[in-house]
Structure 1
Amino acid sequence: MDRRDFLKTTSAVAAMTSARRLMAATDAKRQPELIKTENAKAGSSFQLTRMRPDSAKSYRTSLIEGYCSRQSVKAGEKMDIYVSTRPVARFNIEIFRMGYYGGAGARHMTTLGPFAGKEQPVPEMADKRLRECQWEASTTLTIPPDWPSGVYLGRLSTIPEAADKPYWQSYIVFIVTDDRPADILFQCSDNTWQAYNRWPVNESLYTDPRAAHAPGVSVSFDRPYGKYVQIFDNPQSMGSGEFLLWEYPLCYWLEKEGYDVTYCSNVDNLNPANLARAKTMISVGHDEYWDMRQYANVKQAIADGLSVLWLSANDVYMVTPFTPNAKGEANRRLTRETCYGEFREEEKEAYSKVLGPFENPGPDERDIIGARTTVPFNGGGDWTCAKPEHWLFEGTGMKKGDSIAGLVGWEFHGDPDTARPGLEVVAEGNVWASGTRLGKYAATVYEGPKKNIVFNATTIFWSQGLSDPPGHMIPWSHFSRPHGPDERVQQMTRNALKRAIG
């Protein structure tokens, strides 16, 4: 063997050895039975019992409210928890991991406290209508090494001074993420939770007096979540963002089914490695607000072979870059810049009446979804099968024209990218905004370059067809509503996951 052949052989052996070590390390991190094992543990009741908004028109409860220093955190890392009580009261924090747990919907992980409460200041409104708290931390939580990735709720409860005094409650919410390879990456739409959060008075990305969608408005993750503000009044959601309405039914169902799932927040997908560790990413519910870096990373991940299931709608629609907070902590503010989607000329006038004078520098979100938000961009309708021979419908018994009542809403995708080779419209039909104004939706599937798939379910309501867990309320909007769990929605989701996971 001459020197050149020797070097080639040595290099090949070294590369093979390195690859084997990498595979061994990856296999060691895989825990495909983790979720099944976790859900075999005893469940707990996590719901709020006593909650009271400050007034009939208030979105907050100053009796007890709080927030976390991070959107997501890993085992071994620290997270500050900030709580305010008015009047001053002692309190404790019960931490729950959300899942199936034999139908209970959560597992009690620990109780923190009791703590001495204090009234913390409501921040003055700053530039860009920003309300950003700089509260004193009530406690610091180090995430234990045995806490699995998931969505965690902290139930804040005041401790009465006497037996004849009431107690009051609200939630905090955070996501425990990890680095392990998994079949499914469940991305919570927490950017959108914060975009609609009106704490403390009426400060969201929608409440600028200039226009409902005025650019240049900021919101901060450094503040409590008020109650859920869209579709219907839901005080039981106080402090939990929009998780209990949109993400929770899918979380409950996936863990009931025993899928290998790990969780993340929107901000975690600023890191391409977070996407690379999964076979498929699921976008859930209402995933409207994105940083451009998220878009670029997901687009590249699809090119690299990641499957994406958009069990959601109104997705990837507004540009909201992450920026640091006043302390310099990264990715704690969102600022609305502009509309994200590719407007058609005939739609610009209609959009400008609602959204303001937006220019459109953004890419076409159909590149990563297959369809997009259209005018009218909300409404309600039935989800109607258009291509029963497609693999998506295997085992559902659905025929062309068969419908799932009320499954489309309250926002949806239409205008499918029919120029894309291989894109298939699997469901399509009508929606009616305000109960009367006609719109068109389309559910789509296309194949990525490595036999991966991109499925656009086209509706925020999709998860409503999967489960109706404890503490969840079925939504209603535009004089239309989904009917709750449906075996056909469950089977289509299984079919999509089977293709996506392989």
Structure 2
Amino acid sequence: MGNSRVPKSGTPRAAAPIRRWESGALAHAVSDPFGQGPLPWLRGSEHYFDDTGQVVPWYLDHAPAPGARIPAPRSTTGPRTADDVHQQIKGFTSTGAAAPGDSLDFHITVDPPQQFSVDIYRIGHYGGDGAAKITTSPRLSGIVQPPPLTADRTVSCHHWWLSWRLQIPSYWNTGAYVAVLTTMDGYRSHIPFTVRDDRPADLLLLLPDVTWQAYNLYPEDGRTGASLYHAWDEDGSLLGESDAATTVSFDRPYAGAGLPLHVGHAYDFIRWAERYGYDLAYADTRDLHAGRVDPTRYRGLVFPGHDEYWSVPMRRTTEQARDSGTSLVFLSANTMYWQVELSPSPSGVPDRLLTCRKRRGPGKAALWREVDRPEQQLMGIQYAGRVPEPSPLVVRNADHWLWDATGAHEGDEIEGLVAGEADRYFPRTQLPEHQSRILLAHSPYQDGDGARRHQETSLYRAPSGALVFASGTFAWSPALDRPGHVDTRVQRATANLLDRICKRD
């Protein structure tokens, strides 16, 4: 998915019309060719035809060729996606992950004011549907909430009124959920949330909500919104990192359709893992930060998607997990790159503000490797750079048990599996202590300047006996269950890994 832009209707200023950006796609689309990923239970009603007559799914960021007709919706009867200029319906929850028996507070704005409903879906395999509807709210009264508050590019909606309180029944399964908001006149938006509990399980899945928020450009209105990557100037031009926010708030909706940019990576893993019956518990990375995760309850911690922003407590708990015998599975690349801090909201709610100073201002460096704690000391490899065009993953050490029954041979190429961003082993950087260590792929690719680079996939066994796997590519999770990207070799290799972890082999 490229850095494409679709003109938006409506002109808040007399200048050129505000362009349409969906769900932070502009912020980082070049380095995530998978975008949000398919949400099959919502796909049907919003397909567009591009200028060649091809059908383009609603979740792709699409721009017509210069001078081409803007494609019209294939169907005008289904729900339409709300946007950040008109704010037809947008919302967020004022708490992080919640447990069965807890309540979840939704803060929602509706313009024009009208009734709306909330359908709650749980992500899973569900016979290929990708999710199942769990419940529907009563009809709710929608109001236009006050404009977001901004201070030093930090955008917050913590002053929005409560719209609906969901009491989570004790019998609900833990998991990744999505609230689908729909107005009476047919506009739709989404709010992701997590239901967690403290029961022991084979695997704990950690949803990367800290990284999701770092990329959130809400509101993508050409004026107000800001992420840790972008903000706008007075003319509606998009500014880069040096002018972006240093602090972003969880008290705001996600941009565009209301789904985080990288949410699809986690959903791909969930659909696949639940299909094959793995015993999963769920939590957010803010739970890891806040000390609500006891790693001794699990045989492995799984980080399924792009998980770039880590606090000191997140790393400390994860290292303690490894050192106590709990295995770690990193299924993406560019993990634990930036060091961040979490702080309370203005009203005192913990962990509602995310700060990353990057390379600006006073204070310590924000890259883990610049404070002498490189990522490789935990994962065995670390971030190497972006991959402009998907490249094959080249199998190495094919006689290792990870590749058992995959059909993969030494030097085989798995097409398109090195994509988005890549990690590799850095010889001059300290490795973690290990009983054994192996690289399971060594894959050449060209960077944006045409220079030859390479990606690597790593596995090591810590002195505690814990296994630590790092895929070293964005494309691993999509290869598990993303239509058009599934690879049976990656599915089998992942099963080999998780089976060993679950059996403590």
| TM surpasses 0.5 | yes
Residues 61 and 225 of structure 1, relative CA distance in 2, 3 Å threshold:
farther
CA distance in 2, matches of 1:435, 1:255: 41
CA distance in 2, matches of 1:153, 1:325: 24
After TM superposition, list the pairs within 5 Å mapping 1:425-440 onto structure 2: 425-434=439-448, 436-440=450-454
CA distance in 2, matches of 1:222, 1:132: 5
Q: Of residues 154, 173, 190 in structure 1, which corresponds to 2:192?
A: 173
Shift of 1:485: 0.7
CA distance in 1, matches of 2:421, 2:106: 34
> 2:215 touches 2:261 (CA, 8 Å); kept in 1?
no
Which deviates the most, 419-428 or 189-198?
419-428
Q: Of residues 291, 294, 305 in structure 1, which corresponds to 2:311?
A: 291
Residues 47 and 135 of structure 1, relative CA distance in 2, 3 Å threshold:
farther
Partner of 1:221: 250
CA distance in 1, matches of 2:151, 2:141: 30
Residues 105 and 67 of structure 1, relative CA distance in 2, 3 Å threshold:
same
Q: Of residues 354, 358, 364 in structure 1, which corresponds to 2:374?
A: 364
Which deviates the most, 413-422 or 457-466?
413-422
> 1:291 touches 1:319 (CA, 8 Å); kept in 2?
yes
Partner of 2:272: 253
String of CA shifts for 1:347-397, please: whole Å, max 9, x gaps.
xxxxxxxx9999922511112111111245766321110111111100012
Partner of 1:451: 465
2:120 is equivalent to residue 95 of structure 1: yes
SS of 1:446's equivalent in the other structure is strand
Q: Which structure has the greater CA radius of gyration?
A: 1
Partner of 2:392: 382
Residues 379 and 423 of structure 1, relative CA distance in 2, 3 Å threshold:
farther
2:492 is equivalent to residue 487 of structure 1: no
SS of 1:495's equivalent in the other structure is helix
Residues 377 and 397 of structure 1, relative CA distance in 2, 3 Å threshold:
closer
String of CA shifts for 1:246-283, please: whole Å, max 9, x gaps.
11111100010011011111111121643221110111
CA distance in 2, matches of 1:447, 1:455: 9
Aligned sequence identity (%): 30
Shift of 1:441: 1.1
2:402 is equivalent to residue 392 of structure 1: yes
Partner of 1:150: 175
Partner of 2:282: 263
CA distance in 1, matches of 2:342, 2:408: 43
Shift of 1:60: 6.1
SS of 2:445's equivalent in the other structure is strand
Aligned residue type for 2:486: P
CA distance in 2, matches of 1:431, 1:379: 8
- TM-score, length-scaled by structure 2: 0.76
> 2:227 touches 2:244 (CA, 8 Å); kept in 1?
no
Residues 442 and 74 of structure 1, relative CA distance in 2, 3 Å threshold:
same
CA distance in 2, matches of 1:127, 1:267: 24
After TM superposition, list the pairs within 5 Å mapping 1:297-446 onto structure 2: 297-338=317-358, 360-361=370-371, 363-375=373-385, 380-416=390-426, 419-420=431-432, 421=434, 422-434=436-448, 436-446=450-460
> 1:91 touches 1:116 (CA, 8 Å); kept in 2?
yes
CA distance in 2, matches of 1:80, 1:134: 13
Q: Which structure 1 residue ranges, 4+ long, deviate > 4 Å from structure 2?
A: 208-211, 213-216, 355-359, 375-379, 416-421
Partner of 1:164: none
SS of 2:374's equivalent in the other structure is coil
Partner of 1:120: 145
Q: Of residues 190, 197, 216 in structure 2, which corresponds to 1:197?
A: 216
Aligned residue type for 1:134: H
> 1:205 touches 1:213 (CA, 8 Å); kept in 2?
no
CA distance in 2, matches of 1:215, 1:292: 23
String of CA shifts for 1:20-63, please: whole Å, max 9, x gaps.
xxxxxxxxxxxxxxxxxxxxxxxx94558423454xxxx56611
Aligned residue type for 1:304: S
SS of 1:462's equivalent in the other structure is coil
Shift of 1:93: 0.3
- TM-score, length-scaled by structure 1: 0.77
Unaligned runs of 5+ in 2: 1-39, 46-78, 233-238, 360-364
Partner of 2:294: 274
Residues 313 and 127 of structure 1, relative CA distance in 2, 3 Å threshold:
same
2:108 is equivalent to residue 107 of structure 1: no
Aligned residue type for 2:246: V
CA distance in 1, matches of 2:258, 2:44: 11
Shift of 1:104: 1.5
> 1:307 touches 1:500 (CA, 8 Å); kept in 2?
yes
> 1:95 touches 1:152 (CA, 8 Å); kept in 2?
yes
Unaligned runs of 5+ in 1: 1-43, 161-166, 228-237, 340-354, 470-482
Aligned residue type for 2:227: S
> 1:70 touches 1:174 (CA, 8 Å); kept in 2?
no
CA distance in 1, matches of 2:404, 2:423: 23
- Is the strand fraction higher in 1 or 2? 2
String of CA shifts for 1:151-210, please: whole Å, max 9, x gaps.
1111100113xxxxxx11111110001100001111111111111111013310001578
Residues 173 and 493 of structure 1, relative CA distance in 2, 3 Å threshold:
same
CA distance in 2, matches of 1:325, 1:395: 51
